[in-house]
A = this chain, B = another copy of it.
């Protein structure tokens, strides 16, 4: 019987040592008698020097196997976009040959293709080093988020995306047929993460959420990756804000530590998070002379961030105590008030990246709130039944991974931070 063994995967690479790797030709420059290949490897781009005739079928985007000798730094230390490793090749084998040249050029410093072409050919534009750098940073964000929460005793959950009712109970819900019944796609893991606080106390989830956004903007997607956490027992929603600060401090730190070259390539700087100013909603409105609406407009969010950054130097600012009318039914009101909530948003460089707060944990109060909003409490019976059997006082928050990445890197459009964006007009690739 044949047997498949576990054996070490990565060759140890060092200067002057033999090396044998496979990769994809990112760029090919053939001069007289010598060819320079930029080779994409997992997590690195290296240079290969080949002195000899070009093997048939060798093109840009060909997969190749290369043997030779390292003449520079270790591969493991090679940055994604810097050719810190150079290989003098003694053998070069072609493993695949494209049947046509790329319709977009990924070898220039910036992608020259226009907006739609980048996404029409998304599997190709993802090969550009600057685009890869975005996802390198995004991966570090995710790793930092998970590390920070595991260290705080959180359990990672996977809640269902198919359900009977949308968490917010409103519009923007995708509906589908489910074995002869009507089902909806989750707009957020809100209700399930709340239920899980009764069992695991602290939970988080990284997963897709779905919003049937009617309007095309540079900061909305129909499907995005949501970073959610929920924790109990808490004494106040400020504990959730403190958790947010700790998590972002660790996450941003990890990005700075591990993504130096990617940040350099993108011209991005990542702030050190030590303490974040917090302003009540009414005070924030007054500070910027905002309108009398119960929410902050995009322009008001920008004005507030500018104002706070000028005063404190912080690129992050919490806005607290949002009006009840603009927060979902499960939000806890400030005791004795029906207008102010125990809630917050976190703004970063002019854009809201987090929404959070304390939730109602008593069944009677929750059913009353649903009824007061003209919503049908029976539709949420599976939810508030659990409150009756006991949920700890709890709160949490949600962040969009793509929007956070875009703000961190100064990307003009959230789509740049999404592998294969989905919006009103785009369902492929």
Residues of chain A whose beta carbon lies under 8 Å from any beta carbon of chain B: 1-7, 9-10, 22-24, 40-43, 59-65, 95-103, 123-124, 126-127, 132, 135-136, 139, 142-143, 150-164, 174-179, 181, 183, 185, 192, 195-196, 198-202, 207-208, 210, 212, 222-223, 225, 232-235, 238, 241-246, 249, 273-279, 308, 311-312, 318, 361-364, 382-383, 386, 388-393, 401, 419-420, 422, 424-425, 427-429
Contact = CB atoms under 8 A, between A and B. Distances in A.
Q: Which of A192, A382, A393, A401 has the most CB of B within 10 A?
A: A382
A388 B100 contact: yes
User: Which 5 pairs between the two chains have the least Cβ-Cβ distance?
Assistant: A61-B390, A98-B390, A42-B153, A63-B392, A176-B176
Nearest to A199: B126
Interface secondary structure of A, over-half rule: mixed
Contact of A160 (B64, B241, B420): B420
Given A3-B275, A63-B233, A96-B233, A222 B162 contact: yes
Nearest to A62: B390
Contact of A181 (B59, B212, B241, B427): B427
Q: Which of A95, A139, A419 has the most CB of B within 10 A?
A: A419
Q: Which of A2, A102, A312 has the most CB of B within 10 A?
A: A2
Contacts of A425: 179
Contacts of A278: 1-4
Given A160-B420, A162-B222, 18 more contacts: A1-B311, A3-B276, A4-B242, A5-B242, A5-B245, A6-B246, A6-B273, A42-B201, A62-B390, A63-B393, A96-B392, A97-B390, A98-B388, A102-B390, A124-B198, A161-B208, A174-B178, A181-B427
Contacts of A275: 3-6
A156 to B, nearest CB: 6
B162 A424 contact: no
Contacts of A1: 277-279, 308, 311-312
